[in-house]
Amino acid sequence: MPDESLALIGPRLKTWREKRSMTLAELSETTGISSSTLSRLEAGKRAPNLELVVPIARALRIGLDEIVPPTAPDPRVRRTTRRIDGVRVESLSPESSPVQTYKLTLPAQPPGVTPAPDLKVHVGHEWLYVLTGRLRLILGEQEVILGPGEAAEFDTRLPHALSATGAGPTEILSIFSKEGKRIHLRARSQAREEQDGA
């Protein structure tokens, strides 16, 4: 537990004791802890430990979570990077997140080459934001070219495909539901199994 959290325990105990209208002497009698120790603990001059805090919490009829300040988890996301069909996929959200966010780097296409679209379909909505390069988005019968700073949102039940267009690779942010993600990965897995079995 960080030192700053420990330093807050004594003042919190004092606040709860006063809310319960208990004197130090009364709390001492209930817990068997001397009044001087309780006073030093409340003033931050005595380090708290479980042998002191547990009987005090019991006497004050409060839970330990009301004494020990909650600590915020580390907000940084542990990123993972992998390649799927030539696309660099960098995760920007934890697995437990209700939406999944990725940075995708789509490889540049050779001049004059327009790849055949690998159309995907899944339940949900997808949101895209182009960071660099130019993105070719095929959505059903429609084809759209997006440049840096442009965004798109669409129903992923429509057949769709993404690819870079222009001289270099394209970087985009992609956000969609976990349900959509699972279906995407399953579709790729099934396609690979079919290729392996052929």
Sign, Cα dihedral of 109, 172, 147, 131: negative
pLDDT tens sequence across 72-130: 677 888 889 999 888 999 999 887 777 889 999 999 987 776 767 788 888 888 899 99
Q: CATH no. for residue 116?
A: 2.60.120.10
Is the same domain home to 98 and 125? yes
Is the same domain home to 29 and 101? no
Q: What's the rounded Cα separation, in Å, for the pair 107 and 154?
A: 23
Q: What are phi and psi of 195, to 5 degrees?
A: -65, -40
Is the same domain home to 51 and 124? no
- pLDDT at residue 134 is higher than 70: yes
Q: CATH no. for residue 61?
A: 1.10.260.40
- Residue 63, pLDDT score: 87
Encoded tokens for 2: 């960080």
* Pair 184, 122: CB distance under 8 Å: yes
pLDDT tens sequence across 142-197: 999 999 999 999 888 899 999 999 789 999 999 987 554 443 443 444 444 444 44
Amino acid at 62: I
Is the same domain home to 47 and 89? no
State the total domains in the chain: 2
- pLDDT at residue 133 is higher than 90: yes
Is the same domain home to 110 and 175? yes
Is the same domain home to 103 and 183? yes
